Structure 1
C-alpha cells in the first residue's frame, strides 16, 4: 500500500504554499502523479518532489498546468511571488543548487571564496563568526567545499576577489601564507579562473557585498551576501542584474596572469 504523504504547511513560505496548492489542484482534478507528469512532460518522481517542496517548478510547467486546471495565469504569478519572497529555508536550497551547478561566478571583497579556502583559513573565519556552534559550522563548510572539489572540472569556476582579501591576515601570517599558496595552485587548474581587483582600480560595484551566480542546466540563480544572512535570488530579471554587476566588477579586475603576480607579491611579504 503506497505511503500517503502529509501535505506541507503552506504558511511556512511562498514555495511551500505553491507546492501545497499544486497538490490541491492535482487531487481536485483527480489526476495521479503520473498523469500530472504527462501533462507537464516530466516524470512522476519529479511531480512528487515538486509537491514535497524538494523541486522548484519551472515557468513552462506552470504555463501547462494553468491551462490544464483553467486557472488563468495564477500558478505563473504564484511562482513569480515565490521567487521574489524571502524563503526561510533558502540555505538548504542553495546547497542543492550548488550540487547541481555546472558553473559558478562569484565576487568576494572580504574573504576568499569558500571553495578556494584552506582548512586553516576556513577555521579562522568560523572562529571570527557570530555562530555559537563552531564545530557544526566548520563541518558544514568543509562538506560544501569537499562537495565542490570532488566534482573537479564538472564545475567551471570564475572567481573575482578584491585585493583587500589578500591584504587581510586571516588567521595570522602562517595561515595566510598557506592560503595564498593554495590560491596559486587553484588558479592553475583549467576549470578555475581567478582574478584580483587591485586597489589601483578604485571604486567598483562590488563594494556592497559578495555575490554568486550559479549556472544550472536550464537557468541561472543567484546569491547575494549580506549581514545576518544572504538572499537566494531566482527571479530571472534580478539574476540578470547581478550577472551584469559581476561582469562590471570583472572589468576592473586584472587578467589571470597579472592576478597571480599580485598574489605572489603578497606571498613574498609573508615569506
Structure 2
C-alpha cells in the first residue's frame, strides 16, 4: 500500500484503507465462515463460554440466541441446527473441541436444559469423528483466555475464525492462522484427556440433577 501511495501520489489513501480494513468488520465474514466450515475436513474449535454451535441442542441454542437480542430467533435456531448435518455426512469432518469447565457448569437455559445439553455432549463424543476435551478450572491461566476461535482445514488449506461481540473475523493469512494453531495446541496441553473429560461432564450432570431434585422438593 505504501508503494502504491508513493507511486501514484495519493497522500496515503491506500495505506489508510488498509489500516481500517485490518481493524474493521466485514458483514459477510460469518457467512463466509459457514461456507468454509461446510467444506472443512478438520475443524478444531475452542470455546471459553458456550457449547460450540455444531454441538448445541435446539433448547440450548434458543436460550443463547434469545438472550443475544435477536428478533428472528426461530430462523437463527433452525439455521444453527442445519449446520450440524455436516457431522454425519459422508465422509464426515473430524471435529476436535476444547471446552473450558465454565462451558459445562454455566446453566444456559436453566439446569434442566443444561443437563440435557451435557448428556448430548457425552452422546455425540462417542462418534468416531468427534473428540471433546475439557480445560479444567484448576488449570489456571492458559492460552485460551483471550477468547474463542476455530481453525478449519479444507481443500484450500487452513482458515481461522475468531468470535467477538457484534461479529467475528475470518483469518485466511497462513502466518496468522499458524498462530491460532499454536494457541489451540497450547490450550490442549492444559486440557484433560478424553476419558477424564467425560468423567467431569458426568460429574457436572450429577450436580445439575441434584439441583433439580432439591428444587422439586422445595416447590
Report the TM-score when normalising by structure 2: 0.81
Instruction: Supply the distance in 2 between the matched residues of 1:95 and 1:265 (Cα, whole angstroms).
Output: 33
Task: Show the counterpart of 1:249.
Answer: 187
Over the aligned positions, Cα root-mean-square deviation in angstroms equals 1.7
Instruction: Supply the distance in 2 between the matched residues of 1:133 and 1:208 (Cα, whole angstroms).
Output: 29
1:92 to 31, 37, 41: 31
1:193-239 per-residue CA deviation (whole Å, 9 max, x = no partner) reads: 10000001001111121100011024100101111111011011110
Q: Which runs of 5+ in 1 are unaligned?
A: 1-80
Q: 1:247 to 1:159 in 2, by over 3 A?
A: same
Q: Which runs of 5+ in 2 are unaligned?
A: 1-17, 210-219
Superposed counterparts of 1:144-159, under 5 Å: 144-145=83-84, 147-151=85-89, 154-159=92-97
CA contact 1:107–1:211 (8 Å) conserved in 2:
yes
Instruction: Supply the distance in 1 between the matched residues of 2:30 and 2:105 (Cα, whole angstroms).
Output: 29
Instruction: Supply the distance in 2 between the matched residues of 1:169 and 1:152 (Cα, whole angstroms).
Output: 34
Task: Show the counterpart of 1:162.
Answer: 100
1:18-49 per-residue CA deviation (whole Å, 9 max, x = no partner) reads: xxxxxxxxxxxxxxxxxxxxxxxxxxxxxxxx
Task: Show the counterpart of 2:140.
Answer: 202
CA contact 2:152–2:158 (8 Å) conserved in 1:
yes
Superposed counterparts of 1:1-271, under 5 Å: 86-145=25-84, 147-151=85-89, 154-271=92-209
Instruction: Supply the distance in 2 between the matched residues of 1:152 and 1:189 (Cα, whole angstroms).
Output: 13
Q: 1:152 to 1:171 in 2, by over 3 A?
A: farther
Structure with larger RCO (C-alpha < 8 A, sep 6+): 2
Tell me how far 1:139 sits from its aligned partner. 2.2
The alignment covers a number of residue pairs equal to 189
Query: Which secondary structure does the structure 1 equivalent of 2:30 belong to?
Result: helix
1:94-115 per-residue CA deviation (whole Å, 9 max, x = no partner) reads: 1111111101000001000111
Q: 1:90 to 1:249 in 2, by over 3 A?
A: same
Tell me how far 1:191 sits from its aligned partner. 0.8
CA contact 1:153–1:191 (8 Å) conserved in 2:
no
Q: Which runs of 4+ in 1 moved over 4 A?
A: 83-86
Report the TM-score when normalising by structure 1: 0.66
Tell me how far 1:117 sits from its aligned partner. 1.1
